[in-house]
Chains A and B, each alone.
Chain A
Amino acid sequence: MAKPRPRVKLPKTASAGEVITIKTLINHVMESGQRKDKEGKPIPRQIINKFTCEFNGTPVFSCDIEPAISANPYFEFTAKVMESGKFKFSWVDDNGETYTHEQGIQIK
């Protein structure tokens, strides 16, 4: 599969105090480490092991991810927005890479 690329869906605008729904998806194989290849050798684990979301530097949501999570992990959660600003999302890969995405929201 292609290089992991984050996708985020959230409204462009909201009224102050509104609870918005945030949807996130990243393409990733989420290789559990439990499988074997054709020669019988274990396929090393490679998963996204952590996901975080911040708003203007304040944590909104985060979680550790375990091998049982299936490929292309999808997260949906809600957040109350009081001011205009930027959401920052990051996905931490077992290989040390971090994939990030930023998306702003305006208060009407």
Chain B
Amino acid sequence: MLKKTRMLAAVAAVAGFALAGSYAVAEPADDDLVIDGTMKMTVRAKPPEGHPLDEVRSGWLYRTEETRALEEDTFQNPGMLYVERGEEIWNTADGKAGKSCASCHGEAAASMKGVGASFPKWDADAKRPINIELRINKCRQENMQAEPYKFDHADQKALTTYIKHQSLGMPVSVDLSQGDMQSWWEKGKETYYTRTGQLNLSCASCHELNNGKYIRADHLSQGNVNGFPTYRLKQANMVSLHNRFRGCIRDTRAEYPKAFTDVLMALEVYVTWRGTGLSVETPAVRQ
């Protein structure tokens, strides 16, 4: 719900720019993200060594004033409804073992703090990196004797959102020294820079070379993933990272890989690293 005064202010601002004959509206916002007036998020960070950009920026800076305001207030943030739902799932027993997440992990606020900032992580059993969705499924199968969630099941999204939310405000930091993470990072990097689809676009075409500009009506961000799962106004629902990857690849008019396959897991490792230092914003609100 937009407040009329705010809308008028936005219209006035746009008119002002138009009069000045400037396209400055395409620049990322010069704004600070402070959630509920108390928790200051890092939305601009110094890039890690070997990063191609001068500054790592949160996608929040590329959204409109109204969308940014939604994320600043946890009461207004629709993603918080899924955090609540995730908490219910956390405390509900499922599977033959009769256990809930809480049976072993207790209070998520303590046991899951930092988890969302450090995944994806190397999984020695699977000999590949896994993300929170896969970690939940592993726990469900091994410890709860429950069915793993199918990709993008509503409960999978809610529980992932709840777990990542426990790291709200913590800086994203992927440990590439574990196992074979470095070579998966390399694979992800290759995918990031490989042009694909009928439109012949790579991730870098939009998110590295043209971030800050408009692609039709969309203001291109750096494509950082610190806010996933993200509440997208377009879907009026939570959107998982692999759903977004697939959507982006589909938009290049390419065939898109299945969720959690090697190519997308490698991409997750690499893209998460690109957002190093940004605060975990889950659940972020985007257009």
Do A74 and B81 touch (CB < 8 A)? Answer: no
In the complex, B143 has a CB within 8 A of chain A:
no
Min CB–CB distance B143 → chain A (angstroms): 25
Min CB–CB distance B75 → chain A (angstroms): 5
Known: A2-B88, A23-B75, A25-B76. A71 touches B1 (CB 8 A): no
Min CB–CB distance B283 → chain A (angstroms): 12
Bound CA span A1–B153, Å: 11
Do B1 and A74 touch (CB < 8 A)? Answer: yes
Contacts of B3 in A (CB 8 A): 76
Do B76 and A70 touch (CB < 8 A)? Answer: no
Do A76 and B1 touch (CB < 8 A)? Answer: yes
Bound CA span A23–B75, Å: 8
Bound CA span A21–B86, Å: 29
Interface centre among A9, A72, A75, A76 (most CB of B within 10 A): A72
Chain B 15-43: CB-based contact to A (< 8 A → 1; otherwise 0): 00000000000000000000000000000
Residues 41-82 (chain A) with a chain B CB within 8 angstroms: 70-76
Bound CA span A23–B85, Å: 20
In the complex, B154 has a CB within 8 A of chain A:
yes
Bound CA span A25–B1, Å: 11
Contacts of B88 in A (CB 8 A): 2
Contacts of A100 in B (CB 8 A): none
Do B236 and A70 touch (CB < 8 A)? Answer: yes
Contacts of B236 in A (CB 8 A): 30, 70-72
Q: Size range of the interface on A?
A: 10 to 19
In the complex, B120 has a CB within 8 A of chain A:
no
In the complex, B59 has a CB within 8 A of chain A:
no
Chain B 44-87: CB-based contact to A (< 8 A → 1; otherwise 0): 00000000000000000000000000000001101001000100
Contacts of B233 in A (CB 8 A): 70
Known: A72-B81, A72-B236, A76-B3. A1 touches B76 (CB 8 A): no
Min CB–CB distance A53 → chain B (angstroms): 14
Do B1 and A75 touch (CB < 8 A)? Answer: yes
Known: A2-B85, A76-B1, A76-B3. A71 touches B154 (CB 8 A): no
In the complex, A86 has a CB within 8 A of chain B:
no
In the complex, A7 has a CB within 8 A of chain B:
yes
In the complex, B237 has a CB within 8 A of chain A:
yes
Contacts of A84 in B (CB 8 A): none
Do B78 and A72 touch (CB < 8 A)? Answer: yes
Do B76 and A23 touch (CB < 8 A)? Answer: yes
Bound CA span A66–B154, Å: 26
Which residue on B lies nearest to A29, using beta carbons?
A: B236
Min CB–CB distance B286 → chain A (angstroms): 14
Min CB–CB distance A31 → chain B (angstroms): 11
Min CB–CB distance A28 → chain B (angstroms): 10
Within 8 Å by CB of A71, from B75, B85, B237, lies: B237
Min CB–CB distance B287 → chain A (angstroms): 13
Contacts of A71 in B (CB 8 A): 78, 236-237
In the complex, A106 has a CB within 8 A of chain B:
no
Min CB–CB distance A86 → chain B (angstroms): 20
On A, residues with C-beta under 8 Å from B are: 1-2, 7, 9, 23, 25, 27, 30, 70-76
15 contacts between A and B (CB under 8 A): A1-B81, A7-B75, A23-B75, A25-B76, A25-B81, A30-B236, A70-B236, A71-B78, A71-B236, A72-B78, A72-B81, A74-B76, A74-B78, A75-B1, A76-B3
